[in-house]
Amino acid sequence: MRRQLLLICFLPFLISHSYGQNRLTADTSVVLDAEYSPLLYNGSMWGKWSAGSLVLGNEEIRTPPNADLQSAWVDPDESNVIALYRDYREQNQFIVRIYNQAAELKHSFPLRRNRDVGLPLIRVFRSGWSLCLFPEDQSYRWISPTGGAITGSVFPNTQFDLEKKILTAVNSQGDFFSLQMKSSDVRVKKNIVLMRWQEGARPDSLLTLPLNIPYYFQIHNQLAWVIGTASMLDNGPPDFIETRIDLTTLQIVSYRQLRGIPRKSILTTDKAFLIYDDGIIMESVGDVTKTSEFFPFQDQTYVRDVFSDGRFLWILATPDPHVDKTGITFPDFVIIRFQQANHLMTAHALDLPPANRVSASLSTDKTVLLIAHNSVVSQFRLPINP
C-alpha cells in the first residue's frame, strides 16, 4: 500500500483558473522560420535544422543534393551535433555527419540498410568510434574513426519487427548500456537483456530481465532503473513493473508492480520520482523497503517534461490539452515546482501562446528553462526562491 500525503494547503495554485496568481514572463524569445526545429542543449539554443539545412551559430550547412535532413540532435555527453540524412540516390541509405558546435565537420559516413526502416540510434564515443543501433532487427554497426565498419546482430537469426525497441543509458563513468528486446511477442516473459558496450566489440550480455517491453531506462551511480511490462499472472494482461538492478552485483534488488505507466520518471541521488498526470510518486533509492509516498496535483494535468536540480523538481505541464482530428494542442502551460526536502508544491503559469509542438531544456546552472513551442524559443528564469 502506498502512503498518500495530500498537500492541500499548498495546492490552490494548481487550480487552472488561479494560475494568474503566479505568472512567469519570458526573459527573451526567438522566432524561427516555420520550417525549422531548434537544437536545444543545457538551456541554450545551439542552432536549428530543417530538411534543407543545418544552422549552427552563424554557419549554415546546406543539405547534400538528393537528400533530406531527417533529424539532428546534440549528443548529451560529447557535445557533438549529429545530423542524420536520408540519401535518395540509393534505396534505404542514410548519411551520418558529426559536427562540433563551431560547425566543423568531425566525421561523416554512409549507413546503408537492407530495407526501409526507421531512424537508427547513434552514439558517438570519446575515442571517435560511432555506434549505430537498429531496433527492428536488434543489429548494430560500429564505425571506426578511420571509417571502417563492423556489423553484427545482438541476437543471431532474430526476426525483423517494427515493434521492437532499444533503450540506452550511460553511467557516471561513461559506460554505455542498452536494453535489447529478443522478441516482439507480448507472451515472452524474459524478453529484455541488459548489455554493456565497448568500442568496436560485441556487447557484453549482463542480465536477462523478467520484462516484456521496456519503457524507461535510467542509471544513477551503480543503480539501473527500468520500467516495463510483464504479466504478474499466467496468461494475464500486462502490468507495468518497476525493476532496479545493482550494476555491481548484477542482481535485481527490487521488482514491483506500478499503478500504471508514468508520464515521466527521474532518478536522483537518493530518490526516484514517477510523474503521473494526477501527481508525483516519490520512492527511496537506497532503501527499497520504504513505503512510497504520493503527492497529488489538485487538478489533472498533462505532463510534458520534468527536470531536477537537486533541490526542486520542475515539471512542465499543461492543464487542459485539446485533442481533435488534427492532433493535440496545448492551450496553456504551467511550471510546477516540487521541493524535494519538505514536499511543498507551487505552480507558476507561463506567458506562452497555444502550441502543438513543445520541448524544453534546463541550463547547466539549473536556473534557466528554455522552452521551444512551435516556432518560438522562450527563456524563463526559474523561481528558485520561495
* Domains annotated on the chain, with CATH: 3-381 (2.130.10.10)
Q: Residue 24 and residue 18: Cα distance in Å, rounded?
A: 13
Sign of CA dihedral 383, 384, 385, 386: positive
Predicted local confidence at residue 116, as pLDDT? 66
Predicted local confidence at residue 12, as pLDDT? 37
Mean pLDDT by 10 residues, the chain (386 residues): 34 39 89 94 93 95 94 86 92 90 92 77 91 94 93 89 93 93 90 96 96 95 93 79 95 93 92 95 83 88 92 92 88 93 92 93 93 95 83
Q: How many residues does the chain have?
A: 386
- The HSE-up count of residue 67 (CA atoms within 13 Å, CB side) is 22
- Cα separations in angstroms, 43 against 77, 131, 372, 386: 15, 26, 11, 22
Bridge-based pairing of strands 23-24 and 345-350 is parallel
Predicted local confidence at residue 289, as pLDDT? 72
pTM: 0.89
Predicted local confidence at residue 208, as pLDDT? 97
Among 223, 338, 332, 327, which Cα is nearest to 274's? 338
Residue type at 21 in one-letter notation:
Q
Phi, psi (rounded to 5 degrees) for 276:
-105, 170
Annotate 40-70 with DSSP letters as a single string. Answer: EETTEEEEEE-SSEEEETTEEEEPPTTEEEE
Residue type at 339 in one-letter notation:
Q
Predicted local confidence at residue 21, as pLDDT? 55
Predicted local confidence at residue 16, as pLDDT? 39
Predicted local confidence at residue 265, as pLDDT? 95
Annotate 234-296 with DSSP letters as a single string. Answer: TTPPPEEEEEEEETTTTEEEEEEE-SS--SEEEE-SSEEEEEETTEEEEEESS-TTSPPEEEE
Predicted local confidence at residue 376, as pLDDT? 95
Q: Residue 215 and residue 165: Cα distance in Å, rounded?
A: 9
Which residue is listed with cell 566543423?
A: 104
Among 232, 228, 262, 260, which Cα is nearest to 245's? 228
Predicted local confidence at residue 13, as pLDDT? 38
